[in-house]
Amino acid sequence: MPNKRKPEKEQQAKTSVAEAAISETPAAEDELEQLRNLVFGAARQKLVTQITSMHNELKQALSTQEQSFCDRISKLQQNIEQQFSQMDKKIQLLDKAHNNTEADLQKSLTGLASEHETFAATTEHDFKEMDKSLNNESTLLANSFNEKLEQLNAHLEEVSKELSSSKTDRKTLAKLLATMATNLEDDQL
């Protein structure tokens, strides 16, 4: 039990000291504050003034920087919008040029297709006409050749009959046949 009493007494002593300190603290703090004011009052006031001044200067500098930053962002945004506007105009101009080129190409293609159809029809007609003309000419040439051949055959028979009947020599007959062959070649040319 004696051990239990000792801690209780110590505890009571600590509690009474703490209470005494609390009751003395406001008076001690006032004295301490007065001493501080006497010793450090002017320096403290100067320091508070400097801190306040620096605070105001920093606040002013931050405000100026903020305004400058806002102005720069605004100018940058205007510049970006202006460049986007110029790019949009260029794109629209290029798009319009592309559309015009495409329309011109489409017109040219349509014109070329029409010309091709006309040319094909004309060429086909011309080929038919040439074929008809060639057929007619070949028929005329064949008829003319056949007529001349018949005439030559008739003449040859006539000459052959004359030669047989007149009994001319062979040299005359050879000359006559050579002349006829020459005449035939000239007629064919």
Name the residue with higher pLDDT: 53 or 41: 53
Please give the share of the chain, as a percent, with pLDDT higher than 90. 43
Query: What confidence tens digit (pLDDT) does each residue in 169-180 have?
Result: 667 778 888 888
pLDDT band for position 96 (50/70/90)?
Answer: very high
> What mean pLDDT, rounded, does the chain reach?
82
The closest of 146, 145, 142 to 134, measured between CA atoms, is: 142
Return the amino acid letter for 161: K
pLDDT value at 42 more than 60? yes
pTM of the complete model? 0.38
Domain map (residue ranges) of the chain: 2-188
Name the residue with higher pLDDT: 104 or 151: 104
Backbone angles phi, psi at 169, to 5 degrees: -75, 170
CA 172/CA 154 separation, integer angstroms: 19
What pLDDT is stored for residue 1 in this prediction? 46
Output helix, strand, coil percentages for the chain, rounded to the nearest 5. 95, 0, 5
pLDDT band for position 81 (50/70/90)?
Answer: very high
pLDDT band for position 15 (50/70/90)?
Answer: low
